């Protein structure tokens, strides 16, 4: 980090969004400047708690504030597209929680708005900055996995108690937590999808989205690669502990996510299996925000609370400070935003079109060309017969 410039950040949506306030307050390149929430009582509660004086109940008024450099959007998913486009058109850089949007057309609107404005857009996908993902990505980039042969991921979640707009939502409409890691490992891009819908949600939920499926499982073919992935997701009517997972199968080593929250991840070296303890990657962050990779940092004492997605998601793998930091660095021009608009569209549309494939009996559907980047992925594809020194290495190193 070389820039000394300080960016003024505005956060809209203060349920999940409040988790990021203390991170921006401590980041050396950020000023946590403004917050926005339609409910004034909630707005003032959060503003008073964190000492933020600039407060808006109207999003358009927030966008009109010339002091704001970056808008971080954490509102319900059906609002993302309109709010992102409005922010870009207002001259603000944008980070937005997932998914990018809930339709292919809305994803395209964001891509076009970003390209027209030339401003930064980053889809704030937590799984791409978890300690587990960073660990496996390091294994991949060092060549320790050998040739990657296949990837598998899943996102199992019971949405009971969440807002009613989740009722009956097609599982793949918000599948970026599961799809993101399969594409992000080596910068793969989804070329086509083929999806199976299975089971059924409660009868009372079927009408809202016209979707019957309790489970959707899709196969993704990667562009310019012989590798593919399988991704499975459910939201309702399935008995399963919460799990966001990904498995990577290489010719030399493979990584498998724990089957249960209390279990341990596994590394396979050939046919030998070893438990693996995932390190923390706080050292990659400015010292001021390194503590935010660990749980219990969003408050203190018995009354400390975190958003349900943070609690249910096991703290999102320490990803929040990484997300905030990388957004700021992208705006400052010190690195590329990831996922940027085109990449975010590829990840999100892979899910949306998977649901369409399920409705069409598993038909193969290709991703639109505008979701594909000319930039080549970071590939480390070792020949599976080339194993220099692998037999004498430790299970992970």
pLDDT in tens, 230-239: 999 999 899 9
Residues 6+ apart with CB under 8 A from 306: 19, 298, 299
User: Are 274 and 395 in contact, with CB atoms under 8 Å apart?
Assistant: yes
- What pLDDT does 397 receive? 45
Alpha helices in 118-169 (DSSP H): 131-141
pLDDT band of 383, cuts 50, 70, 90: low
- Reported confidence tier of residue 375, pLDDT bands at 50, 70, 90: confident
Per-residue pLDDT, 305: 54
Contact 189, 175 (CB under 8 A): no
- Across all residues in the chain, what is the average pLDDT? 90
Give residue 1's pLDDT: 57
Percent of the chain with pLDDT over 90: 79
CA gap 293, 282 in Å, rounded: 6
Handedness of CA 370, 371, 375, 379 (dihedral sign): negative
Question: Among 344, 41, 52, which residue's Cα sits nearest to residue 184?
Answer: 344
Q: At what angle do helices 104-117 and 80-89 cross, to 10 degrees?
A: 10
Buried b (16+ CB within 10 A) or exposed e, 267-286: bbbeeeeeebebeebbeebe
Question: What are the residue ranges spanned by the domains of the chain?
Answer: 127-287+340-371
| Single pTM value for the model | 0.91
pLDDT tens string 24-70: 999 999 999 999 999 999 999 999 999 999 999 999 999 999 999 99
pLDDT for the residue numbered 382 = 57
Quickly name the fold that domain 127-287+340-371 has.
Dihydrodipicolinate Reductase; domain 2 (3.30.360)
Q: For residue 272, is pLDDT > 90?
A: yes
pLDDT reported for residue 270: 87
Poorest-pLDDT segment among 101-115, 147-161, 244-258, 379-393 = 379-393
Strand ranges (E), the chain: 7-12, 30-36, 54-56, 70-73, 93-97, 121-124, 148-156, 190-198, 215-222, 228-234, 243-250, 253-256, 265-269, 272-276, 365-366
**Residue 313, pLDDT above cutoff 50:** no
**Minimal CA–CA distance to 258: which of 314, 174, 184?**
314
**pLDDT for 224:** 93
What pLDDT is stored for residue 55 in this prediction?
A: 98
Other CB atoms within a 10 A radius of the CB of residue 260 amount to 8
Q: Taking residues 283-292, report their average pLDDT.
A: 96
Dist. CA 1–CA 319, nearest whole Å: 19
SS3 label, residue 60: helix
Q: What is the mean pLDDT of residues 350-368?
A: 98
Q: Any idea what DSSP says for residue 279?
A: P
Asked if the model's pLDDT at residue 268 lies above 50, the reply is yes
In order of 265, 288, 303, the CA distances from 65 in angstroms are 47, 28, 34
Predicted confidence at residue 352, as pLDDT, reads 97
Statement: residue 116 has pLDDT above 80 = yes
Q: Dump strand ranges (E) for 13-142.
A: 30-36, 54-56, 70-73, 93-97, 121-124
Tokens read off for 159: 């949405």
């Amino acid at each position: 980090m070389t820039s000394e410039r300080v960016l003024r950040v505005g956060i809209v949506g203060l349920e999940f969004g409040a988790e990021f306030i203390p991170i921006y307050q401590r980041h050396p390149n950020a000023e946590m400047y403004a917050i926005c929430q339609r409910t004034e009582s909630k707005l003032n509660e959060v503003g008073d708690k964190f000492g933020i004086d600039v407060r808006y109940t109207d999003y358009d008024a927030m966008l009109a504030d010339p002091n704001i450099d970056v808008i971080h959007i954490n509102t319900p998913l059906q609002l993302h597209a309109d709010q992102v486009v409005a922010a870009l058109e207002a001259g603000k850089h944008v980070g937005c929680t997932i998914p990018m949007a809930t339709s292919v057309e809305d994803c395209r609107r964001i891509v076009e708005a970003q390209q027209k404005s030339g401003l930064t857009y980053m889809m704030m996908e937590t799984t791409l900055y978890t300690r587990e993902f960073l660990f496996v990505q390091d294994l991949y980039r060092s060549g320790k996995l050998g040739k990657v042969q296949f990837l598998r991921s899943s996102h199992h979640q019971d949405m009971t108690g969440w807002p009613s707009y989740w009722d009956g939502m097609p599982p793949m409409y918000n599948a970026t937590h599961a799809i993101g890691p399969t594409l992000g490992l080596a910068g793969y891009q989804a070329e086509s999808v083929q999806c199976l819908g299975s089971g059924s949600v409660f009868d009372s939920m079927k009408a809202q989205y016209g979707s019957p499926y309790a489970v959707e499982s899709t196969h993704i073919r990667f562009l310019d690669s012989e590798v593919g992935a399988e991704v499975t997701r459910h939201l309702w009517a399935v008995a399963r502990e919460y799990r966001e997972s990904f498995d990577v199968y290489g010719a030399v080593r493979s990584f498998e996510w724990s089957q249960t929250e209390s279990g341990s991840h596994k590394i396979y070296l050939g046919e030998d299996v070893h438990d693996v303890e995932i390190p923390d990657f706080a050292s990659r962050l400015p010292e001021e925000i390194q503590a935010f990779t660990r749980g219990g940092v969003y408050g203190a004492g018995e009354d400390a609370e975190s958003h349900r997605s943070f609690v249910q998601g096991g703290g999102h793998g320490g990803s929040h400070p990484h997300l905030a930091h990388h957004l700021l660095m992208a705006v400052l021009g010190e690195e590329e935003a990831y996922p940027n608009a085109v990449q975010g569209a590829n990840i999100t549309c892979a899910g949306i079109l998977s649901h369409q494939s399920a409705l069409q009996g598993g038909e193969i559907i290709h991703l639109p060309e505008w979701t594909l980047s000319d930039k080549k992925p970071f590939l480390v594809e070792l020949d599976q017969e080339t194993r220099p020194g692998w037999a004498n290495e430790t299970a992970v190193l």
